[in-house]
A and B are shown apart, each in its own frame.
Chain A
């Protein structure tokens, strides 16, 4: 390139010497001009050559810098891998199905065997717990077929340590499947999970115990009342105390409904009232006609509502049994506009519970008791219920 630049200059210089009129310029000037041109050419040659050398040096320097940068990047990656709280690995399955691990960061003390090529081979048969090997192999096989990532949680051989591994596959040009993955020790996480399960189990056991105690205590109260009632000779008074026992049983059913609910804070009113109706109709051999919408409410509503409903239903059942009514008991619970309506046919003879108590319970619910034809109606604010 330098020569390519210098040649025209030199040529010009030589030409110039031929062109200059020696007679006019004199021999000295002629020589000077020609020499100057040659010198200029040489200078150009030198400059270009120097520039070329600079360029090569710069290229070399750039190559060196790139190499240094690459080495630095590799060192950084190696540092990250060595400090990574887990293992980074590459798994390769060639088209024949042979599996190798060309890269495994060595943070864990895993049983690794060096292959002849320096590649590392992990044997699932030795690495993982016998009970978990099949699951891991199946996950990897599925990943190889579908080229979708796999995720596994499994125990290491010995059973003391848990690991989680995930890897993403891709198909290489030679048909191999290459996974790049990570593996973490999750032993502490599993221990925390187990502690949580144990705690949950203990709490469930405690809840069952509380449920049992509540039911038993309600029975103790009911039994105390029964014992007192049996000492009383006055029939009306015994009947009244019997009614109290019956109401305690109704509260027990409500508690049963609460225990069966998913969140222990609300009850399915429709289901509860249906069961109440059934418990009153069946022993008396009465027909039962219920139409209950699946309305849930919290305990603040369920308890007074349950007591009111029980009184109305009991009165209806007693009347139907006395009068041998083929129609039996009819009860409805449904939304009506902004309200929820409970309607009980024949419930108007709820003389067992003092009207003042019924009215007080209805008022507690911001509700209104009324009569319509053969029905007693309890209208409640719809906001107390949810689906």
Chain B
């Protein structure tokens, strides 16, 4: 478990967002913000530069989490899409590094976050079993 890594949540269903926030806080992560819309998620990401973002796809005001995933990719912020809408190919095409379908297994979520942070911070490539998408030559390493 990565201590005090900062995470961004984009979820317009408040109960789901609260459950995720409490789960991740209990697991030792900081939550830099909870966004209801894609533009809000992008703005929070630009402000706080989280280590990782967890994005729902269908967000408030008809905004789309995949747009946020693409924008965050340009900011070198990895994201995991949490949704029932997309398949792996679609999620990967929009720049996300993982896909978790609702309703998710909390343990599975924590494992994916840990694997993605290990990869982005320490260059440890994720195991095939992690459920993350292994890119080609893209690097997530932070300076």
A222 at the B interface (CB under 8 A): yes
Of A241-249, A355-363, A379-387, the one touching chain B: A241-249
Question: What are 30 inter-chain pairs, A to B, with CB distance below 8 A?
Answer: A212-B58, A216-B13, A216-B16, A218-B103, A219-B102, A219-B104, A220-B16, A222-B19, A223-B16, A223-B18, A223-B19, A223-B20, A224-B19, A226-B23, A226-B106, A227-B18, A227-B19, A242-B107, A245-B105, A246-B105, A246-B106, A246-B107, A248-B103, A249-B104, A249-B105, A252-B101, A282-B129, A282-B130, A283-B129, A283-B130
B56 nearest in chain A by CB position: A216
B121 at the A interface (CB under 8 A): no
Please provide the chain A residues from 278 to 305 with a CB less than 8 Å away from any CB of chain B in the complex: 279, 281-283, 285
Most A Cβ at <10 Å: residue of B13, B15, B20, B127: B15
B129 touches A285 (CB 8 A): yes
| Given A211-B84, A226-B19, A282-B131, A216 contacting B102 (CB threshold 8 A) | yes
A230 at the B interface (CB under 8 A): yes
Complex interface bits, B21-53 against A, C-beta within 8 A gives 1, otherwise 0: 011001000000000000000000000000000
Contacts of B130 in A (CB 8 A): 282-283
Complex interface bits, B4-24 against A, C-beta within 8 A gives 1, otherwise 0: 000000000101101110110
A256 at the B interface (CB under 8 A): yes
A271 at the B interface (CB under 8 A): no
- Closest beta carbon of chain A to B89's beta carbon, Å: 15
A215 at the B interface (CB under 8 A): yes
Per the bound structure, the CA–CA distance linking A248 and B103 in Å amounts to 7
Contacts of B131 in A (CB 8 A): 282-283
Mostly, the A contact residues are: helix
Task: Find A256's partner among B13, B58, B84, B127 (CB 8 Å cutoff).
Answer: B84
Taking Cβ atoms with an 8 Å cutoff, the residues of B that contact A are 13, 15-16, 18-20, 22-23, 26, 58, 84-85, 101-108, 111, 127-131
Per the bound structure, the CA–CA distance linking A279 and B108 in Å amounts to 9
- Closest beta carbon of chain A to B131's beta carbon, Å: 7
A282 nearest in chain B by CB position: B129
B23 touches A215 (CB 8 A): no
- Closest beta carbon of chain A to B16's beta carbon, Å: 5
Most A Cβ at <10 Å: residue of B13, B15, B101, B105: B105
Per the bound structure, the CA–CA distance linking A281 and B16 in Å amounts to 26
A215 touches B103 (CB 8 A): yes
Per the bound structure, the CA–CA distance linking A215 and B13 in Å amounts to 12
For chains A and B in complex, what number of residue pairs have CB atoms within 8 angstroms? 80
- Closest beta carbon of chain A to B21's beta carbon, Å: 9
Contacts of A285 in B (CB 8 A): 127, 129
Per the bound structure, the CA–CA distance linking A221 and B129 in Å amounts to 27
Per the bound structure, the CA–CA distance linking A246 and B105 in Å amounts to 5
Contacts of A215 in B (CB 8 A): 84, 101-103
Contacts of B85 in A (CB 8 A): 212
Per the bound structure, the CA–CA distance linking A371 and B101 in Å amounts to 34
- Closest beta carbon of chain A to B120's beta carbon, Å: 19
A283 touches B18 (CB 8 A): no
Per the bound structure, the CA–CA distance linking A284 and B7 in Å amounts to 24
A256 touches B16 (CB 8 A): no
Per the bound structure, the CA–CA distance linking A313 and B88 in Å amounts to 25
Please give me the 9 A-B residue pairs with the lowest Cβ-Cβ distance, nearest first: A223-B19, A215-B84, A282-B129, A252-B103, A219-B103, A218-B103, A219-B102, A226-B19, A249-B105
- Closest beta carbon of chain B to A127's beta carbon, Å: 45
Contacts of B15 in A (CB 8 A): 220, 223-224, 227
Task: Find A242's partner among B18, B58, B102, B106 (CB 8 Å cutoff).
Answer: B106
Contacts of A220 in B (CB 8 A): 13, 15-16
Per the bound structure, the CA–CA distance linking A251 and B101 in Å amounts to 12
Contacts of B84 in A (CB 8 A): 211-212, 215-216, 252, 256
- Closest beta carbon of chain A to B119's beta carbon, Å: 16
- Closest beta carbon of chain A to B90's beta carbon, Å: 14
B102 touches A283 (CB 8 A): no
